[in-house]
Structure formats: structure tokens, C-alpha cells
Structure 1
Amino acid sequence: MSSNIISLKLTADFFAERANRSLDRYNYSKALRYFKRAGEMEPKNPSHLCNMAGVLGHLGKFSESNEILMNVLKKFDDNAAECHYYLACNYVYMDLLEQAEEHAYLYLRKDPKGRFAKDAVEILEYVAQDLNHPPLTEDLNLEEDEKTILHEQARTMMEEGRFQQAEKLLSQLLEDHPDFIAARNNLSLCYYYKGEIEKAHQMIRSVLEQDPCNIHALCNLAILYYQQQELEELSALLKELRKIIPLQYDQAYKLGITLGVLGEHDAAYQLFKKMSAYAWRLDFHLYHYCAVSAFNLGRYQEAKKYWKWVQREDPESPIAPYYLDWIESGQTHREAPYYYQVPHHYQESKKKEALQDSMERDPFIRSSFLWALRHGDRETKLQVLQAFEWLGDQEVIEALKEFVADPEQEDDLKQMANFVLGTLGYAGSNQPTIRWRSSWKEVVNCLRDRLTGEEQEAAQQLWTEFIQARYPNVPIIRKPKAWAAALEYLITPTSYKELAQSYSVSAQTVKKNVDTIREK
């Protein structure tokens, strides 16, 4: 008789998933049993052991938790520096302050810039006060060196969408510190967000030559493959990424978000849940990513639970209410993005102030503009160039200068970019810097709906030359429409009378302005 029994292979991931389900129900005893089984099946995976230690801590079994954490430290040493912080927390709860001080100190020695650094300093200061001696922080060199400070400045610039400035700072850092891998990884992201794919690829390769297993570089490479639709290479790399067991918190974050962006929502969900199981303090960003991956898997109740936690911990933010409304209103056909922001969908009819605000606040919108300027079609590039007239910061000026210098771009688009540079006060190295007045810009705006694209570009070029030639003695523009009519007369075969009627100005004024522009 043939058997119809199907063999079920119980893997470590199976038990870890069951453990996480038990944690969701606050059933810590059952979660502990499942994590223990997972650890027995994968004894070389420290995450199972850390999960066990975390659950034991929740149960108040601090001594048992400490025993596991010490075991992890023996096996994985520096790669498990956070265990020292967890031990310090346990010892504080046990009122063993000298031991708490020792492990908080060791954590800061091994990872002075780690995610728990500030908390560890607080523990040292608390313990020192209770034990009546100076805090051990005085023995630690916690002052940031210039390299670290500059790198943090570059990261902040990237978070704010100022990729041009971040690129310059990171490039200078690498000239002075060529082995600074973190700076190389961030510079590759700068290139990517700006649309400079080949440069991004080269920078990632340079990191992997130094460190073939660098998780940040491998994740960046996967995103690059995805963007370029190099599906065979992406598939092979994803296979490797799914096998990685990150030991550091920032590595786990990077890997989880990358997997999610690439559509590997289940793998991202499992990773984020594992992270949340042994997160000793509620990280609402992490729970947001748990919610995002759960939502994208169709697990809407779980997503709702996580976003409610986020709402409780970050009550001033609109993010959790925004996504909770998705669930309540049945907008489950959409896919939640893997970043901690409310998506902005801007139409062409949006006011300039809204666009300026979005560019300042949302680096993703800013990077999409930079990307479109480099890789969009002709019409898209024209729209971006027009939008840049409103967004005159240094980042935009640098992007326009690069665009003008790019031999691959069309000449008429470069002329348009030069015009925008002129309105933003940059007229080239041989021209005076002129900050355009709103009345000068209004003249060009009057032509928007009347001229073709080519005619608009010609009118803008003529008006820019006039402003530059007459500066600083540019005539006062009391009637922008009359000057717009003059420009249109010089560009198109139209009579003074027709233009005067169209713009509701006198023909004599139009003729006078035409003569003034011709004189320059």
C-alpha cells in the first residue's frame, strides 16, 4: 500500500515564526520554547539566542537571560557587542550596579557610536551617582573625530535630499580617508539618487573589493540591479541576501528595507519581527516597517496592530493615522512604501509653495526630480527645469550646472537650464551674479500658455540676455504683460495691435519695450 503521508520539514525558521506569533499574543512562555527549539536547530545563529535572552528578560528571569548573553559573547565576541548593553540593562533591574557599569562601559568601548550609546552613557551616569564616584565616561574617548563629524553631516544632507552637497563632502572625505567604507557606501547612494548609475556601480564595486561581504554594499548593488532590470544578477544576489544573518542592528535594518523594496515582503517581515522580538526599547521606526511588510503581505490586522503602536509612541506624526486610514477605508490594493514618511502625490496644478515645501521636507521627491532631469524624456526634463525656477537653493544650482556641462543633453534644454540658472542668480563665471526679481520672472510666466516650447526657450534666452546686459540698470517692470508682449513680438510674426489687445496693454507701450530690448 502506497503512503499518502506528506513529510513536513520543521526548520529553525518555522519555530522562530511560531515564537513570534506567540510574542504577538504576549505568550512569552510558549515563545521561549519555540525560540529554544530554533536555537537547537541553528546553534550558530546568535539571533535565536538573543531572542531567548530577550524573552527571559520580559519574564523577569534575568540570571538565565544573562547566562545566554554571556554565551553569545564567548562565541561571537566583538560581533555581538550589543549583548554588553543588554547585560547592563539586566543588571540594573537586578540592582547589581557594579556589573551594570562594567558592561555598559564595555559596550561603549566596543561600539562607541552604536545605537545604544546614549542609553549606555545614561546607565553609567546613573550608576556613578548611586555608587558615589565619577562616571566612567570620563575614561572613554567619546569625542567624535573630524572624520566622523563630517560623515554625519553628509548623512544628514542625504536625509534632507541635498545629494549634490553630500557628494562633495563625501568625495573630500574619501580623498583624505580612502579606506572609509561607510563613506563609500553613502557616496554610492548619492550617485544613485542623482541618477549617475555607472558611478554608483563603480563605488559599490570598490567597497566589495575591500570587503566582499559588506551588507550595505550588497544591498545597494541589489537595488541597482533592480533599477536597471538586470534580473539574472538580481536573482542570484537575492538568493545570497536571504541567507544572511545580520549581527548588527543597522545591518539588519538595511537588509530588511532592501528586501522589502525588492518585493521580498515575507523575508523583510520575518527579519523585522525578529528584530522587534529582542528590541529592548520600543523603536517606532522598526514597528512601522513591521506594519509595512505585514500590510504588503495582506496581513492587515497585524499591520493595524503595529501602526497603533507607532501612533502611541509617535503621537505627533501623521504617518500611523495615514496608513491606518488605508486599512479602515479598504485601500488594500495599494502597496505601502518602505520609508518613514507620508507619501506625497503632487499634481501639476499644485501651488509653488506646496512644491517648495515638499522638496525641502521630502528627500525622495527631491531625488526623483534629480533623477528625472538626467533620465526623463524631453517633456519631463522641461517640466523639471520649470519647477527648478521656484526651488532656487544651492542643490538645484549644482544640478543645473552639471546638466549644462553634460555633453549628452540637448542644446536647447541646456539653454533652458542656463536661463533658470540666471533667474537663480548664477550667470556663469564670466557674468555678474544677479538675483532675479519677482517682476522679471513674471514677464516669462506671462508667456507660458501663449508660446510653443521652442518659442518659450527663445524668449527666455532673449530676456536673460537683456537683463544681464542692462544690469544693474534694468528698467523698472511695472507692467509685466507689456514686456511679455514685447518679447512675443520679437519671437513671433505678430502685429503690435494684436498683441496689445491680447495682453490688454497699449500698442505704444509694447513698441517702446521692443525698442528698449533691441537696444540692450
Structure 2
Amino acid sequence: MKKQHADLNKESNRHKVVRLRLDASFFFERAVRSLDRHRYDKALKYFRLAVEKEPGNPVNQCNLAGILSEMGRFEESNQVLQSILSEVDTELHECWFYMANNAANMEDFEQAEDYLIQYLERDPEGEFASEAAEMLDMLAFELGRQTRRPEVKPKQDWQQKHENARQHLEAGQFLQAMEILEELVAEHPDFHAAKNNLALAHYYTGNVDQAMEIVHSVLEGDPNNLHALCNLTVFLQHRGEREHRDQLVSILKKWVPFHPEHMYKLATTLGILGEHQTALALFRQLLKREERPEASLYHYAAVAAFNTKRFKQARSYWRIAREADPESEIPSFYLNHIEEWAGMPPEQVPTISYHYQLPFEEQLIQLDRQQQTIPEQVRENPLIRSSFFWALNHGDKETKLQVLQVFEWIADREVEQVLRKFLLRRDEDDELKRVALYVLRQMGTTEPCQVVLGDREVTIHPRDLTGELPEWLKKWEKVLECCLDRMKGRYDICQLNDAQIIWAEFLRQNHVNLPGIRKVEGWAAALEYLVARLHGISLTQENVARRHDVSSSTVGRHVRVLEKICRVQRNESPFSWRSQS
């Protein structure tokens, strides 16, 4: 019986066949393993097989050229590099630099010089630009003549447009970038870099569906486009499409990027996707390759180390980041908190974001404390801007209200465009849209606003915006109107302005839990009293109460609320930040 049972098991196991997927990734992994063991012959064989499986993948071909060069087969290496430029990717300009190195190793100095000129004319600010310039000097010495210099060619119109769009994107001006990129993509449908940046612009402003559609169009034309694959994986994670996301993650984890820009993109993407171990390995490689790594790169390495519970290593990286960027408060913030977090039970240790910025909640706290620097901080830091744009589209109602208040302080063209798009969202809360309309009015907008309210699209002129304010806000607006009306003729412009600032600050801090309002005049009298006291004007609560036809006890009660919120004391003004020309 036992023998029969064993035979049955053997028979059943015989049918459990595990198929080997002999694809490009399989041979690539074998090649890398062989390289680690210094078996260049085997590595060469496997890289060739990887190229055969995916002839359109420039990474595999570059790896093949690299191993041929390592083995001293420089001519074959150049043949592969030339085929990349002619058949796979004409924009992979570094191939010219690699061919120059191969030619120099073959002592064909004139050919090496030609390749370097080609590289510098095509990519004058490329990764190897400084090395190429030094190499030209060396070759000129060997050839016994003056150094050749590349011809400086003006950028074509489409290149300049793309550069402008990238600058807008990096500055956090996503809608301006979007306008330029949409025009570029319409003119050049195969311009994948522009499409990838357009997808990011849509993603940063919360339009994930449109971003995914653009990325899919890139991958239709170039299935191995690393930037598009990274972006798509992040978008899928955001939408909760786990199965497809996991398939792409397994592909990305096997990818060995050839170009530092690709390595950087892959490392940050894997970190965002929660693959901290792989991200840390890539960040370490980048730190070794960079001559002078930026503070942000040390921060990313620190985050990856922290998220893999390597607290000592994270601390070390953040200390270097602090030295590299002493004016930034970001490394210091994390160094101040690392001991607290490291001492928590493992399940309570937070996962830190890879963005080189303070956590969003901390940003709001600091902006609350430092209102005078809000516009400058947000204008100068694109990551902060993007986090606010993202929160307006994907945060809860309370967060969105806070963001709308911050937008009132920023009040630039980008904010106006974002708010106008927000007003047209059919899935958004009408109350929030009315607050957005109020912010637009405060910003001094002059163009009519298209807004969807109650599933009905209407056009509202700025002069009519008051009628669309939330009911609770209309009542409190009347307090300021009443106060300013009674103050006219008795107070100067500066004092009238202070009344508006105090009232705006009071509403900002209490928009969620505003006290009840029975009589507008009582609050107006309290506000006037505070302004008078702030400027050293002799005015008693009894006098101001009589002027507004309310009791002095009502004024006193409201003054205590305003004092508690605004911290106004007899010899101290929290509004010193207002003195701007």
C-alpha cells in the first residue's frame, strides 16, 4: 500500500510541469549573474540572446556593446552602438561618446574626435559633456594640433518649446507647462518625452485618467519607454489596479538602467511604489557615480534606508544632506524625528515620502505660523505647489478648505486656472465651489466664471460672486461690511486694512467651528474695538457698544473670542507681517 501510494504521488507530480519563460528578462538576469562572477564569455552569450528576444530594447543592446568593449572587442562594440543609433533610438546620444572611447582604445584618434564632436553637437549639456571636452583636448595633444570645438547650433523651435515646458513643470507651473506640451504633441505626435511630461502635468493636477491615456499612447509607439512604464505603474497604484501594477513592478525591478537619468527615474519610482530595498540599491549606485551629489539625492537614499528600517544609515545620509543644503529645514526635520520614529513598535513606524519636502501636514502647520512667507514658499517650491494641487483634487473636505485658504494668499495666475477647473468638476462639493468663488473674488478676478452647481452649469460674473457665497460666509462677510461702514471717517486706510486682516485671520482659523451669530453689529463693534486698541486709539467697550447699538457685555464677550484666536494684546501686534508695499 505504501509503495502504491508513493507511485501515485510520483505520477501526479510528473504532471506538474513548471514552464521556464525564456524571455529577454531571463537571459538578462543570467548575463548579470555571469558578470558578477567575471564570466564575460557567458555574459556576452546571454546579452546576445536578450537582444535577440527584444531587438527594440536599447538597454539590452547597450549592455551588449559594454561587455564587448570590456572584452577588448572595440570594433564589434561600435557596430552595436551604431545599430542602436540607426535602428533603435536616434536620441540615445551617449552612444557617440561610447564609440569615441572605443575608437580611442583602437588608437583611431581622428575617428574618436569625430564621434566626440557629434556627441557634443547633439547633446551639449549631456551627462558626459565635461568628459568629452577633456577628451577632445587629450586627442588634440596626441594629434599635435589645436583642439576642435563643436559647432554651437541654435535649438530648434520644438526643442526650445519643450525646454520651456520643462522649466514650467519643474517650477510647479503645471497648467502653463500643459499648454505648451499639448501644442507640441499636436505638432509632433511621436515626441515621447513631451508626452511623458504632459502625462505628469495632468497627474500633478489630479487628472489621472487623462495622464494614463497619454502614457498608453507612448507605450503603443515605444513599449520599452522606461519613463512611460514608471509613470504608468504609479498611476495604476493610485487607481488601485493591483494586478497590473504588480506585473509592471516585477519588470521594473529587473531593469538595469544604462543612463543615470533612467536610474534616477527608476529609483524614485520604485521608492514611491514601496520597493524600498531595490530603490536603496539604485540610490547608492547614483551616489557613487555622481561627482557632487545634491542634497535631495542623499535625502532619497535616507528615505529608502529609513523605510527598510536601516535607521543608522538613514541618519548618516540626512546629516550629509544637511551639510550639502544648510539652508533647507528638510534634513533637520527628519533628523529631529528619527529617534522618536525608530523607537516605535515596527508596525507604528511611519513610511516616509520620497519627495524632498516636509510632510504635507507639517507644511500646513508651518504655513499657519508664517503667513508672511506663504506666497514665496509656494512659488519657489514646485513640490509644495503640486502637493496643494493634489490635495485640492484628492484630499478630504477639511484639507480642501485649508488649501483654498492658502490659494487666497498665493493669488497668482496658476491658482486662478486651477480654481476655474475646480469649479467645473461635477463630482465636487457645491459648498467648496462657493468657497472657491469667494477666493476668486478676493483675488480680484475680472473674467466671468463657469461653474457647475447642482448639476447645472452657470456663468457667474465677479460682481455677482457675493450671491454665490456659502450662507455661513455671507453672514460673516456682513460683519466686516458693517464694521468698515462705521469706521469710515474716523480711521485711516492702514487701520481699515487691519480690520480686514484681523477678520480674515479669524475666519481662516475658525471656518470649521465658527460660533453662532445673532447680531452682526455685536461682532462689528468687537472688531472695531480691537483695531482701535491695536493702534493705541482711546476707545472703551461702552463707547463702541453705543455706536453700534449693542450692549457692552456683548462686545466684551466677542472681544474675548477674537483675542483668543488672534492673540491681540495691548502692546503686541501679530500683524506686523502686513507692512508690505
Whether TM exceeds 0.5 here: the answer is yes
- Corresponding residue of 1:369: 388
Offset of residue 258 of structure 1: 1.1
Offset of residue 76 of structure 1: 4.5
Among 200, 217, 226, the alignment partner of 1:206 is 217
- Structure 1 residues 280 and 496, CA gap change in structure 2 (3 angstroms): closer
- Corresponding residue of 1:383: 402
Offset of residue 188 of structure 1: 0.6
- Structure 1 residues 11 and 96, CA gap change in structure 2 (3 angstroms): closer
- Corresponding residue of 2:163: 152
The 1-side partners of 2:238 and 2:145 are apart by: 58
The 1-side partners of 2:478 and 2:158 are apart by: 44
The 2-side partners of 1:316 and 1:481 are apart by: 36
Offset of residue 151 of structure 1: 0.9
Offset of residue 240 of structure 1: 2.6
Offset of residue 200 of structure 1: 1.1
Whether the aligned pair in 2 keeps the contact of 1:154 and 1:170 (CA below 8 Å) is yes
Where do residues 412-451 of structure 1 align in structure 2 (5 Å cutoff)? Answer: 412-429=431-448
- Structure 1 residues 509 and 476, CA gap change in structure 2 (3 angstroms): farther
Whether the aligned pair in 2 keeps the contact of 1:195 and 1:374 (CA below 8 Å) is yes
1:400 aligns with 2:419: yes
| Count of residues in correspondence between the two structures | 454
1:101 aligns with 2:113: yes
Among 359, 363, 375, the alignment partner of 1:356 is 375
The 2-side partners of 1:307 and 1:116 are apart by: 28
The 2-side partners of 1:66 and 1:429 are apart by: 69
Whether the aligned pair in 1 keeps the contact of 2:175 and 2:414 (CA below 8 Å) is yes
Q: Which amino acid aligns with 1:351?
A: Q
The 2-side partners of 1:316 and 1:508 are apart by: 56
The 2-side partners of 1:127 and 1:11 are apart by: 38
Where do residues 215-234 of structure 1 align in structure 2 (5 Å cutoff)? Answer: 215-234=226-245
- Corresponding residue of 1:82: 94
Whether the aligned pair in 1 keeps the contact of 2:321 and 2:331 (CA below 8 Å) is no
- Corresponding residue of 1:440: none
Q: Per the alignment, in what secondary structure is the counterpart of residue 446 of structure 2?
A: coil
The 2-side partners of 1:320 and 1:351 are apart by: 16
The 2-side partners of 1:36 and 1:354 are apart by: 61
- Structure 1 residues 129 and 33, CA gap change in structure 2 (3 angstroms): closer
- Structure 1 residues 381 and 315, CA gap change in structure 2 (3 angstroms): closer
- Corresponding residue of 2:148: 135
Where do residues 48-63 of structure 1 align in structure 2 (5 Å cutoff)? Answer: none
Q: Which amino acid aligns with 1:405?
A: L
Where do residues 7-406 of structure 1 align in structure 2 (5 Å cutoff)? Answer: 33=38, 42=47, 44=50, 45=60, 65=70, 67=72, 71-77=76-82, 78=85, 82=94, 84-85=96-97, 88=100, 98=110, 100-108=112-120, 114-117=126-129, 119-121=131-133, 123-124=135-136, 131-133=144-146, 135-138=148-151, 142-273=153-284, 279=289, 281=291, 283-284=293-294, 289-299=300-310, 314=324, 318=328, 322=332, 325=335, 329=339, 331-332=341-342, 333-340=349-356, 345-348=362-365, 349-406=368-425
Whether the aligned pair in 2 keeps the contact of 1:260 and 1:338 (CA below 8 Å) is yes
The 2-side partners of 1:361 and 1:413 are apart by: 27
- Corresponding residue of 2:55: none
Q: Which amino acid aligns with 2:433?
A: K
C-alpha distance after superposition, 1:354-374 (max 9, x if no partner): 433431233222112112222
Where do residues 453-464 of structure 1 align in structure 2 (5 Å cutoff)? Answer: 454-457=471-474, 459-460=476-477
The 2-side partners of 1:69 and 1:310 are apart by: 40
Offset of residue 425 of structure 1: 2.5
Offset of residue 319 of structure 1: 8.3
Q: Per the alignment, in what secondary structure is the counterpart of residue 115 of structure 1?
A: coil
Is the deviation greater in 206-215 or in 146-155? 206-215
Whether the aligned pair in 2 keeps the contact of 1:36 and 1:48 (CA below 8 Å) is no
Q: Which amino acid aligns with 2:162?
A: H
Structure 2 unaligned spans of 5+: 1-25, 51-59, 343-348, 450-459, 485-491, 508-515, 530-540, 550-581
Offset of residue 168 of structure 1: 1.3
Offset of residue 390 of structure 1: 0.9
- Structure 1 residues 297 and 181, CA gap change in structure 2 (3 angstroms): same
- Corresponding residue of 2:9: none
The 1-side partners of 2:281 and 2:34 are apart by: 11
Q: Which amino acid aligns with 2:146?
A: H
Whether the aligned pair in 1 keeps the contact of 2:27 and 2:46 (CA below 8 Å) is yes
Offset of residue 42 of structure 1: 4.9
- Corresponding residue of 1:516: none
The 2-side partners of 1:310 and 1:481 are apart by: 41
Whether the aligned pair in 2 keeps the contact of 1:184 and 1:203 (CA below 8 Å) is yes
Q: Per the alignment, in what secondary structure is the counterpart of residue 346 of structure 1?
A: helix
Whether the aligned pair in 2 keeps the contact of 1:307 and 1:324 (CA below 8 Å) is yes
- Corresponding residue of 2:532: none
Where do residues 459-498 of structure 1 align in structure 2 (5 Å cutoff)? Answer: 459-460=476-477, 476=493, 478-479=495-496, 492-494=517-519, 496=521
Q: Per the alignment, in what secondary structure is the counterpart of residue 369 of structure 2?
A: coil
Is the deviation greater in 286-295 or in 176-185? 286-295
Is the deviation greater in 381-390 or in 331-340? 331-340
- Corresponding residue of 1:500: 525
Work out the percentage of aligned pairs sharing the same amino acid: 31
Offset of residue 143 of structure 1: 2.5
The 2-side partners of 1:337 and 1:241 are apart by: 20
The structure whose Rg is larger is: 2
